[in-house]
Amino acid sequence: MSFYFRLQFRLLNRHIQDFGLSPLWGWLLGATGFFLFSWLLFSKTSFALYLYLLLAASWLLQLSNRKRADFLKVIFPAYTLRSIRMTENLIVVAPFVLFLLYRQYFLAALLLLPASLVLSFFHYSAVIRSAIPTPFGKKPFEFVTGFRQSLLFFLAAYLLAGIGIFVDNFHLCLFACGVNFLLILSFYTRPEPLFYLWSFAFTPAGFLKEKIKTALLHTTFLTFIPLAALLIAYPGKWWLIAGIQLLGYLYIIQVILVKYTAYPGEIPVIQTLIFLGSIFFPPLLLGLIPFFYSRSVNRLATYLT
């Protein structure tokens, strides 16, 4: 078991070095960034606890992927594998638990520990094997794969919005809408293969315009049900609901531009931190969107003419 964790530690250090940082600075910046992110989250939103627990659960679910579990079963005996799964789940939730204790959310912190141990006994398949019809088939790549992998999370977010309306908790409804947008943003964290890019007969600017148009159309489709329900349930707050929807669109546009500033590589840490900064200070979008647009056009010029 110790060999497994030493190997994971070395792999993480190698990833940090790939970003041009020494491992020590990488860990220090990571810890500082996590604390600042957590502090800003709890300072800016009244439903931060829900979002925080959801974030912790999403990390745990990544470790519970069935493909990953099947691979580890080939390498380790059952007893060792169980110890590995429990230990890594505890390691993942430890920063969340420490910050919750710091913020005096004692019950949530204490419940998160046994919940992480329980989740280590379960595995799920990220891909639903039966073919799910989607309206996104004509416009690959992000929404086709992302929607199928996140279908259960979208259904949970829709249910959460319905519960918020039923109990008259407007903040819970907004949180559910935010989850929908976060799921859509996650579609753009992986670069598509080059042959998808070459299937577009556009200039870099035309390609980005087409990608943004498709993303906004598909985003509207996925967020229409909770959006309509909120407008019906809270007509007096239409301006706030519309504003959040518009802000979500702007973040979708920004993540597309950020993605193609590094294409065909993955989004670097610096751009990720800048993107997170714009979430907590939306006026940054006014400068970041033109900046990333210029960078992405220059980057795509290598592959599109």
pLDDT-based confidence at 77, cuts 50/70/90? confident
Q: Is 262 in the same domain as 113?
A: no
Residue 104: give the domain boundaries: 2-119
CB-CB contact of 211 with 204 (8 Å): no
User: The pTM is what?
Assistant: 0.67
- For residues 112 and 157, membership in a common domain is answered with no
Do 163 and 273 fall into the same domain?
A: yes
Is 70 exceeded by the pLDDT of residue 133? no
Q: Does residue 148 lie within any of the structural domains?
A: yes
- The answer as to whether 136 is a domain residue is no
Asked whether the beta carbons of 146 and 187 are under 8 A apart, the reply is yes
Q: Higher-confidence residue: 18 or 277?
A: 277
Whether residue 185 is found in the same domain as residue 295: yes
Q: Are residues 114 and 167 in the same domain?
A: no
Do 255 and 115 have their domain in common? no
Q: Are residues 151 and 24 in the same domain?
A: no
Q: For residue range 245-301, what is the model confidence (pLDDT) as tens digits?
A: 999 999 999 999 988 888 877 777 677 778 878 887 888 889 999 999 998 988 888
Number of domains in the chain: 2
Indicate if 81 and 183 belong to the same structural domain: no
Structural domain contains residue 137 = no
Mean pLDDT across the stretch 233-244?
A: 91
Residues 6+ apart with CB under 8 A from 72: 81, 84, 85
Evaluate whether residue 135 is within a structural domain: no
Alpha helices in 103-193 (DSSP H): 106-119, 142-166, 170-186
Residue 133 within any structural domain of the chain: no
